[in-house]
Amino acid sequence: MRIVAPSVLSADFAILGKEIEMLNSSEAEWIHLDIMDGVFVPNISFGFPVIKSIAKLSKKFLDAHLMIVDPDRYTERFADAGAKCITVHYEACRHLHRSVQNIKNLGIKAGVSVNPHTPVSVLEEIITYTDLILIMSVNPGFGGQAFIETSVSKIEKLRKMADVSNPSLLIQVDGGVTEDNAGILFNAGADILVAGNSVFGSKDPVKAIHNILNSK
């Protein structure tokens, strides 16, 4: 599977409606929503009103990545706002299995993310229960960072784990994704690539999405 999920964190919010219309006309199947609280990560992004506005315009699958403390308090509200997949951080959840089950009980996909310093081996007990694992290939909080090269081996290790415990698991990669490394990431075992600056910073975002999707 190959999916490109543009991150609206890199969009021009002055013309957000036009940006969503552009994504609707592109080959991107998902739209990635980076939710930051200024506590778990050193940045603040956007919340429910923006997501609801995006959901009204979007024809794509909305994918919410919660970079926040105590995400269990808000998962139902994110689902109500239009998210079809909610990903929480391994590092932010005290009872991760419960967090995943609470999301799945909402009738949507549940994901778990790990930061660059966290080995994928810690996911051994949760991988069976989740729909998606998100590998952070930069330190979360800001767009435009350089890709951390060791993320490729993490993807490969995770794919081997999934082949044993959960063959249908979706592997998502977020951070520093470009047309130059997309093929490497897909070939390593990734299914979904989150792209921010490489899409919205391009002169032709629709073409950039196409090029990422078709990278070899």
In contact, 204 and 37? CB cutoff 8 Å: no
Residue tagged active-site, from 12, 34, 70, 72? 34
- Is residue 180 part of the annotated active site? The answer reads no
Q: How far apart, in whole angstroms, are the C-alpha atoms of residue 20 and residue 17? A: 5
CA torsion angle for 8, 10, 12, 14 (degrees, to 10)? Answer: 70
Which of 89, 194, 197 shows the shortest CA–CA distance to 143?
A: 197
Neighbours of 54 (CB within 10 A): 24
Which residues sit opposite 174 in a β-bridge?
A: 136, 194
The SS3 call for residue 17 is helix
Q: How far apart, in whole angstroms, are the C-alpha atoms of residue 82 and residue 79? A: 5
**Judging by beta carbons within 10 Å of its beta carbon (0-12, 13-18, 19+), is residue 142 exposed, middle or buried?**
middle
- Is residue 174 part of the annotated active site? The answer reads yes
Residue tagged active-site, from 37, 63, 131, 174? 174
Residues carrying an active site annotation: 34, 174
